[in-house]
Amino acid sequence: MSSVPQPVFNIQRIYLKDVSLEIPNAPLIFLETDAPSVEVQLDVGGSVIKDEIREVTVTVTLTTRVKQQVAFLIEAKQAGIFEVRGVPAEQIDPLLGIVCPSIIYPYLRATVADLITRTGFPPIHLAEINFEAFYQQRRAAMAAGQLSVPDAPQSGIAVQ
């Protein structure tokens, strides 16, 4: 009786890797009464830490403007360390590009919502992201030559 090793996928750690908040036009920006415009860019990246241990990061850049003035700018990078062992090679890229970001993103959303609340501006909540569609969009862009082939298994595309 041969024993086939079972695939292993474990979350080792989810952590806030980097965060930056800028309010360049404070305090005058707080006196503006016009509705702000919000631009969101999202990126997914990753790297091999050691053997079967991978780091996946989800980065968001959120820029809010009122009358062309930057009200605030947030850049946040949430990361996770995952053990991926015994997973078939063709399943690793989708695992790292879809499953891992889906696990990490709720933590990133909470961090950004908390930061915005602490600025004194009205709350902004990041929309849910379909990381499978995001992954497929990225693969299609790579196939069309619109994105260079990344070093890591996944890389991001701006989401508006």
The token duo for 140 is: 């299609």
Quick one: pLDDT at residue 119? 92
Q: Which helix (H) or strand (E) holds 131?
A: helix 131-143
pLDDT recorded at residue 144 = 84
Instruction: Work out the burial of residue 18: count CB atoms within 10 Å of its CB; fewer than 13 is exposed, 13-18 middle, 19 or more buried.
Output: exposed
Nearest CA-CA partner of 151 in 72, 34, 46, 28: 46
Spatial contact of 85 and 54, defined as CB atoms under 8 Å apart: no
Q: What are the tokens at 150?
A: 């990344």
Dist CA 124 CA 10 (whole Å): 32
- For the chain, the domains span 8-136
Tens-level pLDDT at each residue, the chain (160 residues): 556 679 999 999 999 999 999 999 999 999 999 999 999 999 999 999 998 999 999 999 999 999 999 999 999 999 999 999 999 989 999 999 999 999 999 999 999 999 999 999 988 999 999 999 999 998 888 888 766 554 434 444 333 3
pLDDT score for 128: 95
pLDDT of residue 147: 62
Report the alpha-carbon distance of residue 62 to residue 16 in Å, rounded.
16
> Which class in CATH covers the domain with range 8-136?
alpha beta
Q: Is 103 exposed, middle or buried (0-12, 13-18, 19+ CB in 10 A)?
A: middle
d(CA 75, CA 62): 6
